[in-house]
Structure 1
């Protein structure tokens, strides 16, 4: 199949930060093919907050927020759906889009005109884990690889698989003011956030144990997401009380914007995070990163990224489960993530 650029092409981008970053190489390739080479019309559809990540990028492409409904989908001849949801395929049908390309899974293929069918794991034991897949679970696939396959279905090859992002100049200037007190000293950036009760979030005392053996002369700067300010302030205070140099962004009063987060990553010498969205921002900048894996399977997020990533995977008989909240209690609760943090504590910085 060859893409018809003149008919209008809509790209339904993922709802999650990490997945959106992972499909950026495919977006870049499609933008070149549709807008730069064929002078066609391209529309990017995603949650409003995530669309800001592409500010200053992809000239000529229209932006449409998911929150604004289906009307912005109409008038396109082709939709490439980088989400795996049934709803996105149904929305493309409702909008009258004739060519609908996406992952053909969970009955969704009935709504598509072309699709990539994922392989089934069929009960095999996940690589480097002890947990067998529940038949017929789909085999883990990296989001970036799937995006490349979908682009290929419309005749567009992704030549450069590495995601690339650049912080806006105003965000870079804001971060420079924020870090003035460090006097240009190198620092380690911590992703200190996490939704309350999340299986991928470390508590303050768990962070303290993980960081105890690391260099005391290197400052920590703490970044976090909206609604995670309290935890970041608590960790900064605990680090300071233990003689460490620690600074929560904006004194923990507000979370950095996505572009301020990018600017922080661009300035940091190392980034430490659990397997959450900001990890993928670091990839797009090439920032050396340590990723602590608990309930998630690293195979879902493999990438040809520039960044030097070190993956620290916790061991537990129940991992990876991909559950948002751990159903276990006592010593077994989040055992996988706590084990990853303990392993990180023994690493040399």
Structure 2
């Protein structure tokens, strides 16, 4: 078998096992094959032997990937070793024939693209691991958000910049998979919760129930519950009832309605909602295009809530406005829910009330 066939055979083997450095291998393969043809014509056995040995040394860096390795398709730890071996082979090829014009630049460009591709793959792996680890964080008592954990974010940022450190990702991924399997066996990952959604400002609002994953956030379910399909429609805001006597000194229950951030997970809301059995949650939604507060309204013996719009300028007096909102009722006591102070003659604007809080208590009576 001649030198060209030997060299082609070696590079075919490399290409079969190659999961990294693909562009650089193609460039150096073409150059080595062309040189092999020249060496074959010269019939210089010593040169043939040296050329085959040089290419065989490169082949040693491209062994078949191991089995059961989460990084089989990536092999990032070998990328730098292979890049170094490719450069060494290219230098050795210079001993047989000087590089043609543009060859060195083509190799450098190919190696840059290989490295950029590696960074992209590592970034994808890091992101997957990051999201997986966040699921574990969500099940811990602290419920820390990994985005706020500088230790992890800094390490992952360094890994993306330097893929040779990706063994940290592999270790984290393996630990993650093991932990998730344990959690599946013990049950918490399979649990679903029932979310009952009603419209706060509609007395005849239909209660819609959904069976959801407790790891979902409120932002995940906006479209699911049938709102915000239209670009002109307000995005719903979610309120739950929770216990906080420091914000309600008026009623014996000490309960207040609290706005839930879009990033809040359902499981966290369930844990702090009053009357929850841990498997269900009642949510009231508000659709408002301007700032508002929530009023806890006592209507005879029943309690319910209403959103009250706030003006950006001086607003109407609270009692006067409430008389227009509850036309078939007489307005009794109007006070601040937090401290019980009279609020009947306070203007409904942002100077007096903090937007998106359960700020008012109102008593109604039949006329």
Higher relative contact order (CA 8 A, sep 6+): 1
**So what's the TM-score if we normalise by structure 2?**
0.21
User: Quick check: which has more Rg, 1 or 2?
Assistant: 2
* Bigger share in helix: 2
**So what's the TM-score if we normalise by structure 1?**
0.22
